[in-house]
């Protein structure tokens, strides 16, 4: 009592607050759930990697504002992002670090080489690969802890090819990128084009992520006098390839693989004029649906009025679905239980957080969607229906 009597009023108040914090701590504490990201945040594909990551960050903000509970505990979501420079070996190292140091039950990887690298260990190490890549092999391998986020790219080949053949002709030169994803696209595109009666007159893949001068590769392809050029990597270098082709006098069309986005390419080359005749996935900015426009507005508020690409949109919804699956599973650490709830999670999302309209997840772990394409015609990006 004598010791307490020596405390002044201010000291007593401080002691009272400290005691209150001690006793209130457990009730107010939040468990932190970490979702990993390993993608390119430097090098030629850095902007692509940032776009993929930013959709995740927006979703985490919204989830935290909702004060969610998982397994009866209040939780906070955190995205832990590591740069892999688009190098699969770096992805494997990052995945190990994310699981061991950050206890991530799910890791998003936005390139196929890195996804395949992560799939070599994810079932053993109990984490879900959130795969932002449309390569069919990602789910065809039978990995039981993989979610393929976007639709398979093979759905675009027939309708896009028919469109270009009708507009420009049947001779195509392949001048896509040389990374694993682009190789997979080209390998599927070539027989698809030929099946429709087309001819591949040149094959000259280039290093989009390391080169800035595409004169030699493009001029070599144009020597074969193609009607159409198959192009594609990240948006910025893809736009530069198209620009180089136009500067060399090419008047034909462009088949743009889905990693590149037409609206982002237009910003690189100063407008859609150079892109006339190009066809690719429908950019988020060209989708007129109300929920999509609302998503663009929310994204712009967080990221300085930037317009999101489809990688931001799909990954945004994937994080919301992963969180929902954790709630349904009652666990943030049991990857098998979480993965089993992804189909129900997507189906349970509101349209507001599912602006791309994902319908669910198939038995192999791939999302079910209604894809649409976009073509540049008369200087504007217009909707092209890809439904068969």
Predicted confidence at residue 21, as pLDDT, reads 40
In a domain, residue 311? The reply is yes
C-alpha pair distances (Å), 52 with each of 213, 253, 358? 26, 28, 17
- List the CATH number of the domain containing 98: 3.40.50.2300
Is there a single domain that holds both residue 336 and residue 353? yes
| Its pTM surpasses 0.85 | no
Closest CA to 203 of 192, 184, 191, 217: 217
In a domain, residue 319? The reply is yes
Predicted confidence at residue 211, as pLDDT, reads 67
In a domain, residue 10? The reply is no
* 305 alpha carbon, distance to own chain's centre: 19
Predicted confidence at residue 179, as pLDDT, reads 87
In a domain, residue 5? The reply is no
In a domain, residue 35? The reply is yes
Query: What are the residue ranges in the chain where pLDDT is below 70?
Result: 1-29, 211, 386-388
pLDDT tens figures, 190-225:
999 999 999 999 999 999 877 678 999 999 999 999
Is there a single domain that holds both residue 281 and residue 359? no
What total of structural domains would you count in the chain?
2
- Which token pair is 37? 């990201």
Cα 273–Cα 276–Cα 282 angle in degrees, nearest 5: 105
Is there a single domain that holds both residue 320 and residue 261? no
Is there a single domain that holds both residue 164 and residue 147? no
Rounded distance between C-alpha atoms, residue 194 and residue 96, angstroms: 42
pLDDT tens figures, 128-180:
999 999 888 999 999 999 999 998 899 899 999 999 999 999 999 999 999 88
The whole domain housing 138 covers 31-152+289-370
Alpha-carbon torsion 254, 309, 352, 107, what sign?
positive
Rounded distance between C-alpha atoms, residue 140 and residue 323, angstroms: 25
**Whether the Cβ atoms of residue 279 and residue 385 lie closer than 8 Å to each other:** no
- Which token pair is 30? 């939040």
Predicted confidence at residue 387, as pLDDT, reads 59
Is there a single domain that holds both residue 250 and residue 379? yes
Is there a single domain that holds both residue 45 and residue 84? yes
């Amino acid at each position: 009592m004598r010791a307490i009597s020596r405390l002044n009023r201010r000291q007593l108040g401080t002691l009272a607050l400290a005691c209150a914090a001690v006793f209130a701590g457990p009730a107010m504490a939040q468990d932190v759930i970490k979702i990993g990201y390993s993608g390119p945040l430097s090098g030629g594909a850095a902007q692509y990697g940032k776009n993929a990551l930013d959709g995740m960050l927006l979703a985490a903000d919204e989830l935290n504002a909702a004060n969610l509970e998982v397994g009866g505990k209040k939780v906070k979501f955190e995205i832990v992002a590591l740069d892999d420079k688009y190098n699969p070996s770096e992805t494997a190292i990052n995945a190990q670090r994310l699981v061991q140091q950050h206890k991530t039950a799910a890791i998003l990887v936005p390139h196929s080489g890195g996804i395949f690298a992560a799939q070599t260990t994810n079932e053993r190490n109990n984490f879900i690969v959130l795969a932002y890549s449309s390569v069919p092999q990602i789910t065809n391998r039978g990995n039981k802890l993989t979610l393929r986020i976007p639709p398979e790219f093979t759905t675009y080949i027939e309708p896009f090819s028919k469109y270009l053949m009708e507009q420009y002709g049947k001779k195509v030169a392949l001048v896509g990128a040389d990374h694993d994803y682009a190789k997979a696209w080209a390998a599927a595109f070539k027989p698809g084009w030929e099946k429709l009666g087309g001819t591949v007159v040149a094959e000259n893949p280039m290093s989009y992520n390391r080169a800035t001068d595409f004169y030699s590769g493009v001029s070599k392809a144009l020597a074969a006098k193609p009607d159409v050029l198959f192009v594609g990597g990240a948006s910025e270098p893809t736009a530069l390839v198209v620009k180089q082709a136009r500067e060399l006098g090419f008047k034909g069309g462009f088949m743009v693989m889905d990693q590149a986005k037409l609206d982002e390419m237009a910003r690189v080359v100063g407008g859609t004029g150079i892109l006339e005749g190009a066809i690719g996935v429908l950019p988020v900015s060209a989708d007129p649906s109300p929920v999509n426009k609302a998503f663009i507005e929310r994204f712009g508020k967080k990221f300085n009025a930037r317009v999101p690409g489809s990688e931001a949109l799909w990954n945004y919804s994937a994080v919301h679905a992963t969180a929902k699956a954790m709630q349904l599973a009652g666990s943030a650490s049991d990857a098998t239980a979480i993965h089993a709830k992804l189909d129900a999670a997507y189906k349970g999302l509101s349209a507001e957080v599912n602006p791309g309209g994902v319908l669910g997840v198939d038995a192999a772990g791939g999302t079910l969607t209604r894809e649409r394409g976009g073509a540049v015609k008369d200087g504007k990006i217009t909707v092209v229906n890809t439904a068969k």
